[in-house]
Amino acid sequence: MQAEYTLKQAEMAKKRRLRFKATLAGKLLTCGTTQKKLAEEIGISENSMSHKSNNYESFTVGEMIRIANRLGTSVGVLIGERNDII
């Protein structure tokens, strides 16, 4: 039972990571910016932005807030917990 639960958790985590990556890409496109420009604007290196957006590392809470603010959205929307309200 424990192994089954762990596998389900891993699958859900993978889906959340993919959803975040897709949401970030969409917001960048909508705002007409790039990961490189966003990295500069929030104060991290382009390499760090790439690693974090590809889920090799985690963004800090502060970075997530700065990303959301720059992209005109909320952290909840970025991580897939909320939808944009139009």
In a domain, 40, yes or no: yes
Which structural domain, as residue segments, surrounds residue 38? 29-81
pLDDT in tens, 39-60: 999 999 999 999 999 888 999 9
pLDDT band at 2; cut points 50, 70, 90: low
In a domain, 16, yes or no: no
Cβ neighbours of residue 48 under 8 Å, at least 6 residues apart?
39, 57
Q: Please work out, in degrees rounded to the nearest 5, the angle formed at the alpha carbon of residue 32 by the alpha carbons of 56 and 49.
A: 20
Rounded Cα–Cα distance for residues 47 and 84 (Å): 29
In a domain, 66, yes or no: yes
In a domain, 13, yes or no: no
pLDDT, the chain, mean: 89
Q: Residue 54: give its domain's CATH number.
A: 1.10.260
pTM to 2 decimal places: 0.82
In a domain, 1, yes or no: no
